[in-house]
């Protein structure tokens, strides 16, 4: 009998513990419907704002040997379009995770209230986009983060989670953990890309992407150790019952297994999904099943948080 690869996040069942990361091939109606018909464990939308956004100028995405670099700038269709799509997306029989973003507390509340009315299964609050010119990542300002989450909690009727940037100091992990507890957040998505990296094309003697002077968010295989560390620390700080979705460097079933060991109940896939398309989900599913079977685990849930530190 194959291992059980399902997951439960804030009481919501996921048929597979592997899904797309917000921002990866999930902006347009066609992309979202393709996710619905794929073998992804959920449909995670692009982070939506009050009005549609074109995002940063091209070229704004680049894949290279160690991962990917992006400076998208939150291009999206606006919350009204995603709200209209929700009934069709829910018809696929898997959770729909609505990712929301904003440029002010008022915008966050407006988008959250209206998208909550439309009925997603979960709401992911993006406090960590590193690629909006002139706007710092909110999640490094713990007072501002708390103010937004406290304002959102009464208007979001579904389980509400937060997508965070990478924290590189334990004092920052502890500060955000306090915010999550105080604001009654239901789950955590860790991590977004590492902001403001630079990749150079030595042949052309120029940066590989255009916006922000060539700086962009670093993702893919090279950030997996940072992602695992954030998952592990928050698992320890928030306790084994608090659901964490790990993101960063998931390119194989072994990578998924490592995120589970660190404390994630499920994972999101960005760079590998951008590279392979929907076929990445059954590949990762089968590879994870093989890893679990070889190690004698009957379910993905049995691995969560089992990391040994010698």
A 10 A CB-CB count for 65 gives: 7
The burial class, CB within 10 Å (0-12 / 13-18 / 19+), for 63 is: middle
Burial (0-12, 13-18, 19+ Cβ within 10 Å), 168: exposed
Residue 26 known to be catalytic: no
CA gyration radius, the chain: 18
Distance CA 222, CA 206 (A): 21
Identify any residues that bridge with 194 across adjacent strands, giving them in sequence order.
218
Give 46's DSSP letter.
Answer: P
Question: Which residues are paired to 43 by β-bridges?
Answer: 96
Please enumerate in sequence order all residues whose Cβ is within 8 A of that of 274, keeping only pairs 6 or more positions apart, or say none.
Answer: 24, 25, 61, 63, 68
Tokens of 309: 């530190």
Residues marked active site are found at 129
């Amino acid at each position: 009998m194959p291992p059980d690869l399902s997951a439960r996040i804030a009481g919501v069942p996921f048929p597979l513990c592997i899904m797309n990361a917000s921002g990866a091939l999930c902006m347009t109606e066609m992309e979202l419907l393709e996710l619905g018909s794929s073998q992804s464990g959920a449909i995670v939308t692009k982070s939506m704002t009050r009005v549609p956004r074109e995002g940063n100028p091209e070229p704004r995405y680049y894949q290279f040997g160690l991962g990917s670099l992006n400076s998208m700038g939150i291009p999206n269709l606006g919350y009204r379009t995603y709200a209209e799509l929700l009934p069709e997306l829910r018809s696929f029989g898997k959770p729909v995770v609505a990712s929301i973003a904003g440029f002010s507390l008022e915008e966050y509340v407006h988008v959250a209230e209206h998208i909550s009315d439309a009925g997603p299964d979960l709401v992911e609050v993006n406090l960590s986009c590193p690629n909006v010119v002139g706007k710092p990542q909110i999640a490094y300002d713990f007072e501002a983060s708390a103010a937004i989450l406290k304002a959102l909690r009464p208007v979001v009727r579904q389980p509400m989670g937060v997508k965070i940037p990478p924290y590189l100091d334990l004092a920052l992990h502890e500060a955000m953990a306090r915010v999550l507890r105080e604001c009654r957040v239901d789950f955590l998505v860790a991590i977004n890309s590492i902001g403001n990296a630079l990749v150079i094309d030595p042949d052309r003697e120029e940066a590989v992407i255009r916006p922000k002077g060539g700086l962009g968010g670093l993702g893919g295989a090279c950030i997996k150790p940072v992602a695992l560390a954030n998952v592990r620390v928050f698992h320890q700080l928030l306790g084994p019952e608090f659901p964490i979705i790990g993101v960063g460097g998931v390119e194989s079933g072994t990578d998924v297994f490592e995120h589970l060991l660190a404390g994630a109940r499920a994972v999101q896939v960005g760079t590998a999904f951008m590279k392979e398309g929907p076929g990445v989900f059954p590949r990762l599913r089968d590879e994870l099943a093989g890893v679990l079977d070889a190690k004698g685990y009957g379910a993905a849930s049995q691995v969560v948080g089992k990391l040994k530190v010698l």
